Amino acid sequence: MKHVLLCCALCVAFDTACAQDTRVEARRLADIGQYDDAERVARAGGLASTVVLGDILTARGKRLAADSAYTRASNARTPDHALAEAALAEFADARGDHVEASRRAREIISAYDGVTGNSSRSSDQHAAAGRAYVVLMSGDAPAARRALAAFDAAAAADSTNLDALRRAGDLFLEKYNAPDARTSYETVLRRAPHDARALLGIARIEDFEGKGTALATVRRSLTSNPALTDALVLVARMQLDAEMYDSASVFARRALAIDSASMPGWSLLGATAWLTGDSITFTQARAAAMRLQARPSDFYTELAEAAVRQRRYADAIGLAQQAVTFDSSSVRALGVLGTNQLRVGSMREGRQALDRAFALDPFNLWHKNTLDLLDKLRGFRTIDQGVFRVVAPAEEAEVLSMYIIPLLQQAFDSLAIRYAYTPPTPVRLEFYRQHADFSVRSVGLTGLGALGVSFGSLLAMDTPSARDLGAFNWGSTAWHELTHAFTLGASAHRVPRWLSEGMSVLEERRTKRGWGAEATLPYISALGSHTLRPMSQLNDGFLRPRFPEETMFSYYQASLFCEMVEELKGAKALPAMLTAYRDGSETAAVFQKVLGLTSTQVDEQFDAWMRVRFAAPLRAVTPGDGHSPIGGAFITTMRAAIALVTGSAAQRDSARVMLEQARAMFPTYPGADGPNWYLATLAKDRGDTASAIASLAQITTRNETAWEANMLEAELREQHGDDVGAMAALTRLIWISPYDVAVHKRLAILAAKHSNFALAVRERRAVIAVHPLDVMDARYELAKALAAAGDTVRARRELLQLLELVPSFEKAQELLLELRGKGSAGALP
């Protein structure tokens, strides 16, 4: 009898081991995309492999067959039946039956909680509970923490349970915790270096962080598993973001060929069709989505997000509203709706939608950040003037608005003529004193590298105080962002990102000398080494930069393309391109229609044009290659000259000759560390003020942030008797930073000297607006300027208010008496 029992026990152990081996082999085959073989092995495994079979059938889009397999495993109470029940809850949630999904998930958790102690629970039970908690997360904040705890317990109970680690990573990333998500995925990759889903997770993190490596990483994932539909969908989304619509459609269709029940796949295909006006494909995609989800909120949310990425914010609102109509508890849909309502200036409605989203998911960092920022905005000051509404920190609103509103009015009038388009008004410009706040306003998270953003008639940007002195020019930034309102509107928000940015930089450059980008040494190096992207691929330079400088290079390169277009085709060519995009043409067709060139010809012609334009610096600069720095005759000559500039008179003369040689090699070098700065200082030291001014002007008319060069130029021009030139340099300083009291005072004095009383008054008001130490004297000087301008009424009012505060202020008393003695017209209020 003992022998019989022992034999039975051995058979059971053998059958269990065989079943385990079958499941492992089936999962291995599925993980590398060999679904036919995986399904065959799983079916051969019988009831013990039913859950694995269900997972394989799910990956193949065979939802009904998968549902049947999971139900069979659940009813048979197989050892892994909890995973089958979790899958059934997820199926219900995916088709929009949240009541059924919640019921199933709660049953799983109830059974899980009924088991005493972690040691009594299997790894599969922990994992199933984690999946159930994920289903319950909407409106239940603790569920996310419990899900993570359950996934951790699953991995601890069975170190081979990589799925639990992947799901933990997915959940971390869903909650915008990229560092912990990366840790989970990297743990998987240490155990399975080619794991496709973990590589996909890393790619999603890189895409979330805006790194240029995301596409390469997701392609590694597809190398490990060519049939991983989520990876194919991610590539489709990346291609859609880059406005490569044909490629996006191809990858979405590849995903659907593997899993015809992929809602993300149908959503991406539908979004691509909607953006390109392919109504037949869109209708097919929407019908397929509705078969999967009777009220396809996910489909319309994906469309809304695609519209946002193409800067079609009003369309995004309409699509998100449709998604919310289908599912009022969709955090994702509510977030897209509220965020974009805020972007078009619907502040109250946007806040309401985000409040609802955050109540459902308080882990959402984007929504929390934005709601916190809206609270802070309540303390800002709003100034309405003409068609503009400036919203800024109360302490800076006055000084910023007195300069920016006239500048923007000038921009508005000139751009309206150039593009034959007028954007909706008022145009709202928000200033942020903390860059993190501006970043949140733009994308919901901190860390955005931009200075400003345009959503059409709503602009946002840093205040000059948000950055170090000389970090940017706030006037050119505002002009740049306002230009977007025209190019977006004139194209019905269909202009590609690269062209809109290029036109904005071009508009900066033609507005004032020195505004807009100029070629730097690293740019010339990249051009010389053929590192720059061709125009047909330039969107990737903005979306997925391969190196830190590539984004800025792309802005400049796009603006140079716009210059070339105007040079070759005239001033009407760029507006014609906007019109073509508005009418539904894609870039290749726009090139052919307006320029008469194919995309390949555009790339070739632009490259040739660039090499002619920058022929001199290209000859003088040797590109760096990552192993050696930038070199060439320009660098060598500069180094030799700098070594002599503090030497003897003879050495300084030699330095001057070499610096002039360097300037000839790179005539448009904009940096304040270039030959012109050293030539200016040498000329100043030898008393040649005219030459010093000429060299400084080579910097200040090419470099919009050259604070020190403008300051020295203003000083030298005053000494040289060129007050008008000094005033121009001081004005340039204000567009770099408007907070220097001395600059405003100097400009006011020079303006008054030349009877430019309006300018003098403005500058005296600016002195007060930047909160000087001696406010009373500043107000007295304003009264003097008003009197000199003939505005005696306001001058007397200012003096009376001043004397109310300081009755013994003698200078104010004397000026008031003097004004009364003149018997000026106009009664005091």
d(CA 481, CA 479) in angstroms, rounded, equals 6
Query: Quick one: average pLDDT of 743-757?
Result: 97
Q: Say what the pLDDT of residue 184 is.
A: 95
Q: Are 75 and 45 in contact (CB under 8 A)?
A: no
| Residues 650-680 pLDDT 10s | 999 999 999 999 999 999 999 889 999 999 9
Q: Say what the pLDDT of residue 15 is.
A: 44
Per-residue pLDDT band for 517 (boundaries 50, 70, 90) equals confident
Q: Say what the pLDDT of residue 117 is.
A: 63
Q: Say what the pLDDT of residue 210 is.
A: 79
d(CA 59, CA 370) in angstroms, rounded, equals 37
**pLDDT value at 259 more than 90:** yes
Q: 398-436: string of b/e by CB count within 10 Å (b at 16+)?
A: bbbbbbbbebbeebbeebeebbebbbeeebbbbbbbbbe
Q: Say what the pLDDT of residue 548 is.
A: 86
The closest of 283, 236, 233 to 262, measured between CA atoms, is 233
Q: Are 802 and 809 in contact (CB under 8 A)?
A: yes
Per-residue pLDDT band for 364 (boundaries 50, 70, 90) equals confident
**pLDDT value at 826 more than 70:** no
The one-letter code for the residue type at 187 is T
**pLDDT value at 19 more than 90:** no
Q: Name the percent of the chain lying above pLDDT 70.
A: 96
Three-state SS letters, 466-490: HCCCCCCCHHHHHHHHHHHHHHHHH
φ/ψ of 382, rounded to 5, equals -110, 130
Q: In what order do the strands lie in the sheet with 427-432?
A: 380-385, 388-393, 427-432, 458-462, 452-454
Q: Say what the pLDDT of residue 52 is.
A: 92
d(CA 31, CA 34) in angstroms, rounded, equals 8
H or E stretch including 430? strand 427-432
Residues 6+ away with beta carbon under 8 Å from 430: 377, 380, 391, 392, 441, 458, 459, 460, 461
| Residues 437-461 pLDDT 10s | 989 888 887 767 788 999 999 999 9
Q: Say what the pLDDT of residue 6 is.
A: 37
Q: What is the mean pLDDT of the chain?
A: 92
Query: Quick one: average pLDDT of 414-435?
Result: 96
Q: Say what the pLDDT of residue 416 is.
A: 97
**Whole-model pTM above 0.85?**
yes
Q: Say what the pLDDT of residue 242 is.
A: 87
Per-residue pLDDT band for 796 (boundaries 50, 70, 90) equals very high
**pLDDT value at 12 more than 70:** no
**pLDDT value at 2 more than 70:** no
For tokens 């005072």, the residue is 745
The closest of 179, 177, 212, 184 to 199, measured between CA atoms, is 184
φ/ψ of 381, rounded to 5, equals -105, 140
Q: Say what the pLDDT of residue 134 is.
A: 93
d(CA 680, CA 553) in angstroms, rounded, equals 29
| Residue 27: CB atoms within 10 Å | 18
Query: Quick one: average pLDDT of 523-550?
Result: 91
> Of 313-322, 625-634, 641-650, 722-731, which gets the smallest average pLDDT?
625-634
| Residues 233-253 pLDDT 10s | 999 999 998 889 999 999 999
**pLDDT value at 632 more than 50:** yes
Query: Quick one: average pLDDT of 66-88?
Result: 93
Burial bucket for residue 382 (CB in 10 Å: 0-12, 13-18, 19+): middle
Q: Say what the pLDDT of residue 1 is.
A: 45
Q: Say what the pLDDT of residue 120 is.
A: 79
**Alpha carbon 520 to chain centroid distance?**
24
Rg, C-alpha atoms of the chain: 33
C-alpha dist (Å) from residue 258 to 229, 254, 261, 619: 7, 7, 9, 53
